[in-house]
Amino acid sequence: MSDFSLYSDKKTTTHIKSWLSEMKSVRRLAANSIDAYQRDIAQFIAFIAKHYQARVDLKILQDLKPTDFRSFLAYRRNQNVSSRSLARTLSALKSFFIYLERQNIIKNESLSIVRSPKIGKSLPKALSVDEAKNTIALIDELEESPWVSARDIAVLSLCYGAGLRISEALALSKSDIEANAMRIIGKGNKMRLVPLMQPIEKAIKSYLKLCPFPLNAKEPMFKGVKGGVLSARLIQRRVVQLRSALGLPPSATPHALRHSFATHLLSKGGDLRTIQELLGHASLSTTQIYTKVDSEQLLESYQKAHPRG
């Protein structure tokens, strides 16, 4: 449910829409993030409306107590919502109430004392070098269309060989590719340069040569079978097919190839700062998780190989 207007009055609905619009145009949040925020606020408004047996207006929002917010989070927890999702929901609510205060609409400081749920750091599930290579190589055997095969090989090569997010790979245009580097637009519209390795360049050139559709230099170059922009869902389905054929776990996803890129680069002596820049992480602490991944994989290999492991 995302129609908050069912449970809020006209003025409150208008402010929610304005806040979401600001998140999109000023904060430049991704469409998926905007959708998630909209669902979060709609669920909150519906809960408060039921709690107060009335359409939610600005007076109700202004008078909410910490117990009201905690009751909502407890309600969502009872629906088996994860701590990560609850933390995002709380972040969305805080953002909305900060917006209301900044616009001199209402002020409610109750949220400032509501603690975010603790989120355990989950380690990225990286593939081994052979698993990553085999995943990409197997495409040729499973796909009958040469150009579709070349396309999917190029996309997954960008995820594994350059550490790109699937969205970044699919947004790539011919004009983004230079002699030895690629211009990548990441989260928050931040641009970074990523080296264009020879195997990736070869895969891209193979796709461009076989692609049956005209390609505008400044538009996304990866096409679907009808000539539209390639959907991430199709690449995800391809990886499901590949991991099934190779007997890989469900954690083998396009994003796992990006994790594998970072983990394998670190194991070969790559430094964290360089990996941070290549991945487009805003904070080094986000990249540091790969040191733990690499250490755990090293320990696992040691225990398997050591005579007394």
Please list the active-site residues.
165, 187, 255, 258, 281, 290
Give the C-alpha separation, 57 to 54, whole Å. Answer: 9
Q: How far is CA 223 from the centre of its chain?
A: 21
Q: Where are the alpha helices (DSSP H) in the chain?
A: 10-25, 31-52, 58-63, 66-77, 83-102, 129-137, 139-142, 146-161, 166-170, 198-210, 232-246, 254-267, 272-279, 284-287, 289-305
Comparing C-alpha atoms, which of 92, 93, 82 is closest to residue 118?
82
Q: 254-267 and 129-137 are packed helices; what angle lies between their axes, rounded to 10 degrees?
A: 140
Phi, psi torsion values for 117, nearest 5 degrees:
-60, 145
- Within 10 angstroms of residue 161's Cβ, the number of other Cβ atoms is 22
In the DSSP assignment, the letter for residue 223 is: B
Sole residue written with tokens 């969205």: 167
Give the C-alpha separation, 88 to 120, whole Å. Answer: 14
Strand partners for 60: none
Sole residue written with tokens 């996304």: 220
Sole residue written with tokens 């790559």: 270
